[in-house]
Structure 1
Amino acid sequence: MKYLFFNIILLFGLISNAQQTPAKSQTEKVIIQGATLHLGNGKVLENTNLAFENGLITSIGNESDLPTGNIINAAGKHVYPGFIVPNSTLGLGEIDAVKATIDQQEIGDEVPNVRSLIAYNAESQVVEASRLNGILLAQITPQGGTISGTSSIVQLDAWNWEDAAVKIDDGTHLNWPTLFKSKNVSFGLRVYSEVNKDYSKEISEIKELFLQVKGYDLKSNNSRNLGFESLQPLFTGEKKLYIHADLEQEIIDAIKFSEDLNIKDIIIVGGSESHKVIELLKSTKTPVLVKRVHSLPNSEDDDYDMFYKLPAFLMQNNILVGLEVSGQMDRMNSRNLPFYAGHTTAYGISEEQALQMITQNTAKVLGIDDKYGTLEVGKSATLFISEGNALDMRTNQLTDAFIDGRKIILKSHQTELYERYRDKYAK
């Protein structure tokens, strides 16, 4: 009985702190005046106007004949495209200690037909908190097993997963076999303990599975194989293959595997030792979603600042680079994405290049750059206004944010607590 009582209290607690009502569609033109525009493609426009209508950016510049509308005076402020967090479990879990709120992993080792999108909780308080730092889009990604399932891309102001969906089933996630068996020690640090003697066997099993998928024909089979059908778009380029691999040999083997099977579009996720295979990445034009830069070295031979400077090294070698946040407490740490990007500016990247990694570059990797990732006429008005540098936690203070032109509410459980105790101690 006491457990039932606890669950009822928890349920009402979650309901009472549900996310704010999603914004309604844009009804009037909005003109942001006099701001510094960070376009997301490496360019900056000072003291410039930006206008959008019906959810789309209609003009950028100081045209004297701009029509009247809702004018926002943003003099001295900064405008950015909405930040995009890839490979995230945002909305797939809420309270780690309450199993019923966690839905990021399905039972089974190979579950390619599992769709993370339908498990997405649009009213997650973690999602709500991420928006306050400019995270307006996310790739919702399943975890676990060898083939975790299919990710989708969502915008972070919605009633439900149907409303949130931006790109449905964008790619399949394959956790590449590891050369070494490892274990978690603390703070996300993994220690490699012994050689994985089954490494080659595990690769062969994956290859055999994909060969079966290539040969699968629904018409000639008595029963449907939903897993095979989910993987077949990888061979036509309709779906991307995200291969989670870290070590040098693992990345080499993963790319060779894709070439042998003629898989059209792959992305390396993690890529801790991607700096060791630069020529291969360049020749195959393989993008890398670099693991959280606030990570400890993988081995005693690595530089202590390896993850800090890895994005700069890859970008300097013309690799398409985005930043991802997987690791310990990745849902909660999704909101720190802009500050991870900001950290890289101390290691050979300009602020605008760092911005590209969480806007334009990630949009290209995810295949949504036709609408999102940069401030351009004709693209979605998914953007925000900040008091200062959005890559610096001291000055990233959002005053306004818009998703597809809809002005969203910038409040969360944390801001409510802040206001509550600010008022208490101000007396």
Structure 2
Amino acid sequence: MFIGWLLVVGLLLGGVNFLAQGKTILIKKATIVPVVGPKIVGGDLLIEKGQIVKLGRNLKAPEGAIIIEAEGDYVYPGLISSFTAIGVTGYPGAGNDLNEVGISTPQMDPYEAINPEDDCIAVTRLGGITTVLTISGTQNIICGQAVVLNLYGDFPCEMLVKRRAAMIFNIGAKQQNRYPSTIPGVMAFLRDKFEKVKLYQARKKETSKSSGKVKARTSKSSRQVSSTGPGFDRGFSLNLEYEALIPVLEGQIPALFIANDEVTLRNSLRLIKEYHLKGIIYSRKGVRKFLPHLAQEKIPLIWAGTMTIPDRWQAYDYNYRMAAEIARQGILFAFEQAGWGPGSRNVRNLPVPAAMSVAHGLAEEEALRAMTIYPAKILGIDDKLGSLEPGKKANVVIWTGSPIQLTSRVKTLIIKGEIVPLESVQTRLRDRYEKIVRQRLKAKKK
């Protein structure tokens, strides 16, 4: 019995996916919007084993397939939200694993804290969002890693799309009454940290030439390591903080900078250039003057400022028009609803800034891409998600209309080929009190 439990735990930790993905689903006679190609009016979409197999018209249903008649409805890829705290913090009382204590915590991996029972997951799905980037926090200078998740599964391994999808930095996270308490101090802190990582990496390469059993010394941010064969020289201390930053400096993991004003934007771009980082900018304001630079350097932008109140000297629609300007500059960008932390329950409103931007000059096709294929490209998952193409994972949403039309609603939600129930804590509360109201009205009439 004990061995059996050990096997189960081992499978879970190893990332085995227990979701059944053998169902065959055929969506018929819908308007299919692949996002990367032309619409197919009256089209069919075939899903097998969790993947999109074929798009077209008059497709033949395989034996045993689930048929979804969708005439008059619209089929889109699942929306992607690229800056959230879904799974690590949610409704009050659900727990909070954001923002580890310290100013530099790059070794923090939010995947280890994911709660598949987070109420915000089901709430977010009802907005047509099937995939999110979950971050480690926003309050540290080096906040930690980020993970891409599908919003369906009983275990984190069933939800996982990509671990270590980005490293989060916040130059504006100055400390009170201790170093670094100024922007120059933060910049000096980061440069010092990066140079130490380079020295650590150089020493690691030198010491790895020798072989033999080694016990690494333990320091405040280190752990004991024992290895045999080719490895490290005696006395080498494995530092988890530095280990987490090595792939960032090597350009293997994107450096995602939170930059919500001109000073933090300028310095984020400076560090990206100095250290040849694979940079991404997340911003709610102050980006306009930097758009030409972002376009020239091909730095993606997660734009979360559409619904932000403009400054006093700016026009009322200044931020509403920003996405159209970003698109005109040719910048790869994604919409965001500023849904991290306590705002995780509002991630479902992702189509709102897209709709407002369309009303102020952005092409509807660009708005849809900025919630699907563009964030997929930014997060490095466009080979799996972000559009309706054969071979991609079947994250598919059937809507009554375009997601840009805020009166549209989700009729059917499919994640990795599984039809997901359209139920959440909000729908349960609605149904509960609607029933009570109807009963009281009926009793009153009598």
- 1:139 aligned to 2:123? no
User: Hey, what does 2:186 align to over in structure 1?
Assistant: 202
Partner residue of 2:41 out of 43, 46, 69: 46
User: Hey, what does 1:125 align to over in structure 2?
Assistant: 119
Contact (CA 8 Å) 1:23, 1:407: kept in 2 or not? no
* Closer, same or farther: CA 42–324 of 1 in aligned 2, 3 Å: farther
RMSD across aligned C-alpha pairs, in angstroms?
2.3
Residue identity in the other structure for 2:290: V
- 1:115 aligned to 2:128? no
Contact (CA 8 Å) 2:251, 2:276: kept in 1 or not? no
Residue identity in the other structure for 1:198: T
Q: Distance in 2 between matches of 1:197 and 1:347?
A: 39
**Can you give the 5+ residue segments of structure 2 that lack an aligned partner in the other structure?**
1-16, 208-234
User: Hey, what does 2:168 align to over in structure 1?
Assistant: 173
* Closer, same or farther: CA 311–381 of 1 in aligned 2, 3 Å: same
Residue identity in the other structure for 1:206: L
**Can you give the 5+ residue segments of structure 1 that lack an aligned partner in the other structure?**
1-21, 183-195
User: Hey, what does 2:199 align to over in structure 1?
Assistant: 215
Residue identity in the other structure for 2:253: K
Deviations 1:232-270 (A, max 9, x none): 10122221100111223432322221221122x110011
- 1:36 aligned to 2:31? yes
TM norm structure 1: 0.85
Partner residue of 1:72 out of 64, 68, 88: 68
Q: 1:292 Cα shift? A: 4.2
User: Hey, what does 1:86 align to over in structure 2?
Assistant: 82
Q: Distance in 1 between matches of 2:39 and 2:155?
A: 35
* Closer, same or farther: CA 402–346 of 1 in aligned 2, 3 Å: same
User: Hey, what does 2:319 align to over in structure 1?
Assistant: 307
Alignment map for 1:166-315 (pairs within 5 Å):
166-177=161-172, 198-217=182-201, 218=204, 220=207, 222-263=236-277, 265-270=278-283, 272-297=285-310, 299-315=311-327
Residue identity in the other structure for 1:214: K
User: Hey, what does 1:7 align to over in structure 2?
Assistant: none
Aligned residue pairs, count = 387
Q: Distance in 2 between matches of 1:95 and 1:423?
A: 24
Q: 1:350 Cα shift? A: 2.4
User: Hey, what does 2:399 align to over in structure 1?
Assistant: 386
Secondary structure of the residue that 2:319 maps to in structure 1? helix
Residue identity in the other structure for 2:261: L
User: Hey, what does 2:437 align to over in structure 1?
Assistant: 425
Q: Distance in 2 between matches of 1:253 and 1:63?
A: 55
Deviations 1:340-380 (A, max 9, x none): 22221111112222111110100000000001000111111
Secondary structure of the residue that 2:122 maps to in structure 1? helix
- 1:60 aligned to 2:55? yes
Q: Distance in 1 between matches of 2:312 and 2:375?
A: 31
Task: Among all aligned residue pairs of Structure 1 and Structure 2, give the percentage whose two residues are the same amino acid.
Answer: 28
Q: Distance in 1 between matches of 2:158 and 2:67?
A: 28
Contact (CA 8 Å) 2:130, 2:150: kept in 1 or not? yes
Contact (CA 8 Å) 2:33, 2:39: kept in 1 or not? yes
Contact (CA 8 Å) 1:270, 1:288: kept in 2 or not? yes
Partner residue of 1:401 out of 410, 413, 430: 413
TM norm structure 2: 0.81
Contact (CA 8 Å) 2:284, 2:305: kept in 1 or not? no
Q: Distance in 2 between matches of 1:125 and 1:65?
A: 38
Q: Distance in 1 between matches of 2:266 and 2:32?
A: 40
Q: 1:24 Cα shift? A: 4.5
Contact (CA 8 Å) 1:41, 1:352: kept in 2 or not? no
